[in-house]
A and B are shown apart, each in its own frame.
Chain A
């Protein structure tokens, strides 16, 4: 099976004997894993290294002697102890394993020729390797109705099922969605759902991947290919920014399937369904295949030459400040860098923003010490979570957090304006009044200062949270063992980013050694930020002002002033100050929280150049549309939330004449008479390596790294040989003195040498040796945001996110489209009943001149005085209500009769 043994650090070595040879194992490590690491593979069906062992299938029986004579034992349940002696090949073992296999096969339909799993089926493979030649079973086999759909994407064929408990265990233990379960008993046992309650888990596709037979199949892949026709390549999912490692399965220039790859620091083999089935979008027939140029009211297909000319026409002889580039989070690191160089280094504009009003200021993302996912999930650790619902925004981060909380004693203190998937798991969950995250964070910090006894005296309610809960949360944080980690992002786009930044400021002051993991969801938003696609910064996490000289020496020019962020750009456009708005995979009309501002911007901008995969709402209104390559159509690297850089690979030919984003930057620069100096990805990487502080040493490091990639900024450009680090695992762990260093050593990617700022200087030396390296960007807490008081007649809006929103990729992935929830506005039942509606009814939601009509639903999890919407849904119209210039969004509700 493709799964690898559970990673282990050997700090309590024991010696066991496997088939006569001595092997070192970690005390307590499962025997099946220890044997596999030592090169002895024990067949198994139920055991999966990322789930708890259940010892059900009995395939892994081996003879174990712990001093009382050899006995058959399931190696998946047995923990290694010193002196244990194992025989995996004795006659008794063979007989037992053959017996188990025969038992599993007697009721199995043996329909391999028509089974999706045929050719990559552990049951089939094991049968070939160990199985009986012929069947001794002459009875009638068990029969069930042929495949039943247990969800929109997963089909279950119960006749093929060998009841290994993998899917059901996954649903319960990993995803926390126990919607499939064993039913009935004994030889009638079957996996099934409750009638009318499908296995609608965001993670359902994983069960297909881990099913050791063809009982679970994915509708998007059923009967599409035979495994031996598939080519596999490892890449990184960019659907969100967790950076799950995937293998892309292709056949005849077509992507047919993604599977999760087990990257220990990241996804452990898991994927969410949006990512897993996202390939349906890239091969959608509506993909743009040729450039389009506006002609009157319509866009008409054009030749690349003409389209590029049309695109640069609006860039050539206009002031730099009248050019803006929105987007870039879809791009690879290299493309983002190329575009940053084009925008800032050639066009000279700093009006760039890869976030679309849903993010955080660059200094809050780039200027704080970074926590990795492993840091956040460190056993026994304590975490402050202030971000979007992780299950909706960053699904596999949710899986990792859930595991950390449930299995590893991690305590999470959640600050949120609405209950989330984390709420039932959190040690403390404080629901603040929207916009008052900063007030709450200050209160927590203050409660601590008062000491445990003083809390009651000094404690006051803050941000709508009562003093007792604030004190309890503060105590939890005070009791943390080791530095706390903080997950930061936007719990709601209906409150301004500055309100979150206020909270970050309070946390930084109270916990100076805290580290931060940004929970921003757009695919490569961190990569784009690192590449400088944000106002006021340049590549490498440096401020424009600090680095102007550094880049000025290498680039044709650098912007003279700090530019605007997305909201500022759109406002400028609305006010007629933008000549050309370049949309780099951005769709403000469909995707900006303030629809009215986006609309005015389109009216005000003189030209719009859209670079995209689909004709989005915004692209439809563009002057020029350039088709770009999508996932699996381009090579490069991507950066996840923790700053981990991994490869993405090209596996299929892009549709039509679509070009890769970096190539487009080069082409446009060309037309403008500038030379970006890039003829290949390697050229871009070399320049990043040289000029961008965080990327220094990356090419060397990446080349030597394993599938897990490397985390930026590199602690050292010297990379340890992973094999060597593994072999001396215990040594390197003891050599390091901080937990963080230990984690790094265990990852075996980067040698744990002290951080050095010297690298950029080295780069400068290479350059000319005269210009000092720019100082790294540091977070500066701004003056606190003023949040108006909520009046008694209004409700304060929360706009959260959902995995299956009506975004471009979801709409174009057949399996995901239509899975999103219905749009509604949710209110506390008392607030709801005050409206005088029945259980649900239509209300007009009004924010000044903005309004929309929605169904109001009573929901006990919503705080009083708060109204909750899910953003980006078909008919949701949340963006019709939000004014991005306001700190919070207060709405009035009127019943529509």
Chain B
């Protein structure tokens, strides 16, 4: 798998244009690649490197720092089970064990049918709704073993349409239409905003 397809390359350019320096778009573009391929392929990293003007090694250096980028294919559904303290206190580890035995895999691996990957993860910010997990980063709160089994059954049966395949993060993207852009230029081309100087001088009236 691969470089960006044409549509995604266009989105990539739109994303890059939002930053004062192209390199800032590296992480969003890694997400975009993962959305396209389900994981972050080598060719995609090389393509990102070209688009933002850095080396492939730099893209990979950045990408491998972050938990979410998978450099090899993973299951269609990545299930992140939180075992951190708040979840641990109310059954996070037991949920993980239950998931492992139900799916017959250990955390960090993928079921043979390629549907599920389980991960033992750190706090997902749902501490008061523990034990919690995420499926492709969609929250599941207060997950009992039974609730987990239902979740799996539903996913297998295609009954959870709100959960996209692994890689897709926001179903809604930010879009800034050209006529609404205020001022996105490299830092070295920026000066004091005119409104700031004027309004401080006049005590708030617009100039």
Contacts and interface: CB of A to CB of B under 8 A. Distances in A.
A145 interface: no
Q: Which of B55, B57, B59, B60 has the most CB of A within 10 A?
A: B57
Given A194-B45, A195-B42, A197-B55, A181 B60 contact: yes
A194 B56 contact: yes
Interface residues of A, number: 15
Interface string A190-216: 001111110000000000000000000
A184 B57 contact: no
Contacts of A252: none
B4 to A, nearest CB: 18
B24 interface: no
Contact of A197 (B54, B56, B61): B56
Interface string B64-81: 111000000000000000
A184 B45 CA distance: 15
A178 B60 contact: no
B65 A181 contact: no
Interface string A175-190: 0011111111100000
A897 B66 CA distance: 51
A177 B55 CA distance: 8
B13 to A, nearest CB: 18
B58 interface: yes
A184 B58 contact: no
B60 A194 contact: yes
Contact of A181 (B42, B46, B61, B66): B61
Contacts of A197: 55-57
A179 B60 CA distance: 10
Given A194-B45, A195-B42, A185 B64 contact: yes
Contacts of B61: 181-183
Nearest to B67: A185
Contacts of A180: 57
Contact of B55 (A179, A183, A184, A196): A179
A177 B57 CA distance: 10
Contacts of B64: 183-185
Contacts of A185: 64-66
A185 B61 CA distance: 9
Nearest to B46: A194
A185 B63 CA distance: 10
A178 B65 contact: no
Interface string B102-131: 000000000000000000000000000000
- The winner among A185, A193, A196, A197 for most chain B CB atoms within 10 A is A197
Contacts of B56: 194, 197
Contacts of A192: 57
Contacts of A195: 42
A178 B55 contact: yes
Contacts of B58: 178, 181
A196 B58 CA distance: 14
Contacts of A196: 42
Q: Which of A182, A184, A193, A194 gathers most chain B CB within 10 Å? A: A194
A178 B23 CA distance: 14
Q: Choose among B58, B61, B65 the residue with the greatest number of A CB atoms under 10 Å from its CB.
A: B61
A178 B45 contact: no
Given A194-B45, A195-B42, A179 B57 contact: yes
Interface in A157-184: 177-184
Most A Cβ at <10 Å: residue of B45, B58, B59, B60: B60
Contacts of A182: 61, 65
Interface in B23-56: 42, 45-46, 54-56
B23 to A, nearest CB: 11
Contacts of A181: 55, 57-58, 60-61
A577 to B, nearest CB: 55
A266 to B, nearest CB: 28
A192 B66 CA distance: 16
B126 to A, nearest CB: 23
A183 B59 CA distance: 10
A185 B69 CA distance: 12
Nearest to B56: A194
A194 B55 contact: yes
Contacts of B66: 185
20 contacts: A178-B58, A179-B57, A181-B55, A181-B57, A181-B58, A182-B61, A183-B60, A184-B64, A185-B64, A185-B66, A192-B57, A193-B57, A194-B42, A194-B45, A194-B46, A194-B55, A194-B57, A194-B59, A194-B60, A197-B57
Given A183-B64, A192-B57, A194-B46, 6 more contacts: A178-B54, A179-B57, A181-B60, A185-B64, A193-B57, A197-B56
In the A-B complex, the 5 residue pairs with the closest CB atoms? A181-B61, A194-B56, A194-B57, A181-B57, A183-B64
